[in-house]
Amino acid sequence: MAETILTLNSISKSYGRIKALNEVSFQVPKGSVFGLLGPNGSGKTTMLGIVLDALKPDDGNFSWFNGLSSPSSRKKIGSLLETPNFYHYLSAVDNLKITQAINQRGNIDDIHQALETVKLTERKHSKFSTYSLGMKQRLAIAAALLAKPEAIIFDEPTNGLDPVGILEIRELIQKLANQGTTIIMASHLLDEVEKVCTHVAIMKKGVLVASGAVDEVLRNEDIVEISAANPSKLAEVLNNYPHITGKKQNGDYLQLFLPLGTANLETINKHCFDNGVTLNHLLLKKKSLETKFFELTN
């Protein structure tokens, strides 16, 4: 069983009558890229604020590194929750020196290593004001890396970036994960989560609707639309057909749900014919990840 970095137990948080989080529980495996996914207003940012001790939950608790949360465990966590806040007239190196002075740990070698990781070495002496938005975001990640954290939390890390900036941040997250750092990132962008995350928790209006490995939670399916002159006989014949995980009547058609790649129209047609049913409609569809996501959140 994989070691757990973060465990949440029935976390609840309200702002007046608004229930931002309602008894949310899940675990973040060590070494994972864990996506906290949901529409705006689903409670993602509130959740991150709680696990970083910036907010207090009304009910429930959480723990880092298989123990009670403490100042010592907080030192193992890097975070980037807001727009990067640096001195515009200072260079990357000088800004990171200030970050080190505030945190009272680290040295100049740590700065150079962090800048190398985020690919800003060639621009380390350039003023922050000359950086693109993507470069500013990477410098903020470099600041989070100075303490050599075991886990890093991002809130919408690609928000507002152009396609090049999004790609740079995506590659950086994957690089950090490959080095053994656990990444927790909140996003409302399904495409980003699908591309970089290994695990996901999907939120809707403060409620956890699904969590687990990405390929399980956002699993594609084969959908077969099928019909015959005798619908009841057709349904009976399909009761003993292998692989079917579910059936649903959709207008004139019966929809069959099967694991991705297991639907064979020729085999289905033969099975029905051999059991006395002649089909008048047979069509294979694919359920997109986007469709699955909207089914969970709408």
Amino acid (one-letter) located at 14: S
* Residue 41 covered by a domain: yes
Here the contacts of 158-161 (C-beta below 8 Å, separation 24 or greater) are: 158/187, 158/189, 158/192, 160/133, 161/133, 161/134, 161/137
Provide the residue range defining the domain that includes 193. 4-217
Beta bridge partners of 151: 77, 182
How big is the chain, counted in residues?
Answer: 298
Q: Measure CA of the first residue to CA of the last residue in the chain; give whole Å.
A: 33
* Residue 196 covered by a domain: yes
Domains held by the chain: number: 2
pLDDT tens sequence for the chain (298 residues): 568 999 999 999 999 999 999 999 999 999 999 999 888 888 999 999 999 988 999 999 999 988 766 667 777 898 887 767 899 999 999 999 998 888 777 788 999 999 999 999 999 999 999 999 889 999 999 998 988 899 999 988 888 888 888 888 899 999 999 999 999 999 888 888 888 999 999 998 999 988 888 877 766 678 899 999 999 999 999 988 988 888 888 888 998 988 877 889 999 999 999 999 999 999 987 565 666 677 667 6
Q: What is the pLDDT of residue 50?
A: 93
- 272 Cβ contact list (under 8 Å, min separation 6): 226, 228, 234, 237, 238, 278, 279
Instruction: Tell whether 134 and 249 lie within a shared domain.
Output: no
Instruction: Tell whether 98 and 213 lie within a shared domain.
Output: yes
Q: What is the pLDDT of residue 185?
A: 93
Q: What is the pLDDT of residue 216?
A: 74
pTM: 0.75
CB count within 10 Å of CB 251 equals: 8
Nearest CA to 60 among 7, 9, 133? 9
Look at residues 192, 217, 242 and tell me which one is the last residue of a structural domain.
217
Q: What is the pLDDT of residue 71?
A: 66
Which residue has tokens 């193992």? 76
